[in-house]
Structure 1
């Protein structure tokens, strides 16, 4: 049985930050797919001014960030009619990282001792013993037990609540608070699309004075946003992204049919089909 002073459950951004603070396939829901000069954030992409820690990490690792493009009109699809409207997101002031949010994971991994990271294990139970905490983890082959004086659970709260057995049980007020707290975009599916582009020109929707922001009651994507990899000479791929709500029937379609419907929607809203498409689900 392996033992440690502190054991961290979860290898996403929170888990890596916790590991580095203790000086001792990572990334959690962050997933950046890099293609040529561009990148596609298939997981989280935005951060906002209150997220001071993200800005601090970006500065520490020398990562450049840029403001989400929102200049121009939005496209509204309602009752099968498409028209432009003033952009309601114009003053949202959200930011993205050049290189994608995966660059944060790369930076954090460069600062930790990878020998102290165990992958391919699912923690199933955390039990309080007399002088330590016992953590039970399962692999494809067997179960493993670990002991630690402290355990940091760096998982989305609902995932921890439903996937890990705690003994003794978590306090009832905490359980109720977890049930009341949704996981941001927890069950949405994100779709990214890339367009073949001339690096010397702006994306075609920007040339048409559009922000790349679309709203649709038909779908499959309820919202669509500009997803270019940067601005100016660092723009990289011209791209859009959208997300599909958890109860949309599109999620149950075969992959080829999903792509077909996304392409049809982008033609309806923006008038041009993409050349590259990808999709990724964000798990609860």
Structure 2
């Protein structure tokens, strides 16, 4: 395999420059290197992985501060894990889940997708899920903006569409909780067309995407985890490529086409000249780069209009997963606490216990300026409310706020509100001359997930290898 090429004070010339050393950029670089191309990767951080990040715990374990789960139909990420020899284990999902509606507590079996409520609410939620899945099945994941009703669907918020079917307060609360756990945004921030395309993408070429797959553990996107943490994926891939060709701490400032037709990619420390460029970043972050000549008007609008979700993770580490002893899974949804949803994040051997809580959307924004101690206190109260006084005996906290990350600006993915996806969605993947677009948002299947990141990087590399513009 050819080596990646280091930059130097006098810009080195390579075939392709890749901007971003997350799973998307690394996957693109690998495909290009395998085809004999010379490649340089720019990375603003001092590490690979982007929104995939491990943290070592004091007890010797590992927790994921970013993307954490894998599941059925996520073929690309599962294949990478297999190639790297990483073991996969099932997320703990045996016993009883909890739901809190204010002070009201509802227990329900882990086999159920949503908590049981009154007959009207249960019927309406079932009707809504059927509607979402049925409409998503009519979406072309490659070109969702070409749907016959795209203009109408893109003019409606996901909340308005859902609330036209679900009329009870409990039903609306449950749905809005589900939306926050998927997108880390409020349902009135999202275009209905965008949400339907996202649901359609929760599958593969032979399996239709469904809303249930996005929110479920068994058979869903939260079914499994990787032993040693998902951070092993980008790091293992980077090791295969060779880290000497990744320009760390080198933020791309501008991408300019020269008189020769080649591109000068100017970094904060080093620059490179390349025949083609892959920008493997979320659209909002890609919009921070100066392009000369300017990118298409559609691409410029897309980068301005898409926005990042708001998410934080609060992981409490215990000596053991004590909640299992009383028959609980560790999974909770809550309409009023600082935490919206929790999962059991203990290791596969249960040698220690861990409860992972997601702080999302408006709740995360409200805590962006809080101290870590304040977040620990708020989340700790939630965990004691859910699991009893034993939850106060936290050995270690692992708290991370993606909103405060300069080179992420939020997570888990960039989102589209009304009036964006139908008008400007084609610019997610359509190349601007020799500039190609990747990043998980630019994937057909599993956008917003690690699988989508890998797919989009490989697709962008294929464009270059085929010498074809994406239409």
Instruction: Please classify the TM superposition score into its range, dividing by the shorter chain length.
Output: 0.7 to 0.9
Aligned partner of 1:14 in structure 2 is 24
- Residue 361 of structure 2 aligns to a residue whose secondary structure is coil
Distance of 1:98 and 1:156 partners within structure 2? 27
State the Cα distance separating 1:70 from its structure 2 match.
Answer: 2.1
Q: Is the 8 A contact 2:286 2:303 kept in 1?
A: no
State the Cα distance separating 1:225 from its structure 2 match.
Answer: 0.9
Pick the aligned partner of 1:31 from 38, 43, 53.
53
Farther off after superposition, 145-154 or 235-244: 235-244
Distance of 2:72 and 2:16 partners within structure 1? 32
Structure 2 unpaired stretches of 5+ = 1-9, 34-38, 40-46, 114-215, 403-407, 410-471
Q: Is the 8 A contact 1:61 1:107 kept in 2?
A: yes
Q: Does 1:43 align with 2:66?
A: yes
Q: Structure 1 residues 220, 62: CA separation in 2 closer, same or farther (over 3 Å shift)?
A: same
Q: Structure 1 residues 179, 70: CA separation in 2 closer, same or farther (over 3 Å shift)?
A: farther
Pick the aligned partner of 2:76 from 53, 64, 70.
53
Aligned partner of 1:147 in structure 2 is 273
- Residue 125 of structure 1 aligns to a residue whose secondary structure is strand
Pick the aligned partner of 2:346 from 228, 233, 241.
228
Farther off after superposition, 248-257 or 206-215: 248-257
Q: Structure 1 residues 237, 168: CA separation in 2 closer, same or farther (over 3 Å shift)?
A: farther
Aligned partner of 1:137 in structure 2 is 267
Distance of 2:218 and 2:83 partners within structure 1? 27
- Residue 110 of structure 1 aligns to a residue whose secondary structure is helix
Higher helix fraction (1 or 2)? 2
Root-mean-square deviation over aligned CA pairs: 2.1
Aligned partner of 2:450 in structure 1 is none
State the Cα distance separating 1:195 from its structure 2 match.
Answer: 0.7
Structure 1 unpaired stretches of 5+ = 198-202
Pick the aligned partner of 2:293 from 161, 168, 192.
168
Paired residue total: 269
Q: Does 1:99 align with 2:228?
A: yes
Distance of 1:235 and 1:86 partners within structure 2? 21
Q: Structure 1 residues 68, 172: CA separation in 2 closer, same or farther (over 3 Å shift)?
A: farther
Q: Is the 8 A contact 2:283 2:302 kept in 1?
A: no
Aligned partner of 1:270 in structure 2 is 387
Q: Does 1:255 align with 2:372?
A: yes
Q: C-alpha deviations, 1:68-95, integer Å up to 9, x for none?
A: 2222221122223334234424544322
Distance of 2:304 and 2:347 partners within structure 1? 35
Q: Is the 8 A contact 2:72 2:219 kept in 1?
A: no
Q: Structure 1 residues 257, 64: CA separation in 2 closer, same or farther (over 3 Å shift)?
A: same
Q: Using structure 2 for the length normalisation, give the TM-score.
A: 0.54
Q: Structure 1 residues 182, 209: CA separation in 2 closer, same or farther (over 3 Å shift)?
A: farther
State the Cα distance separating 1:18 from its structure 2 match.
Answer: 2.0
Q: Structure 1 residues 175, 235: CA separation in 2 closer, same or farther (over 3 Å shift)?
A: farther
- Residue 236 of structure 2 aligns to a residue whose secondary structure is helix
Distance of 2:24 and 2:351 partners within structure 1? 29
Distance of 2:292 and 2:94 partners within structure 1? 52
State the Cα distance separating 1:221 from its structure 2 match.
Answer: 0.8
Q: Structure 1 residues 65, 182: CA separation in 2 closer, same or farther (over 3 Å shift)?
A: farther
Q: Is the 8 A contact 1:100 1:229 kept in 2?
A: no
Q: Is the 8 A contact 2:48 2:235 kept in 1?
A: no
Q: Using structure 1 for the length normalisation, give the TM-score.
A: 0.86
Aligned partner of 1:243 in structure 2 is 358
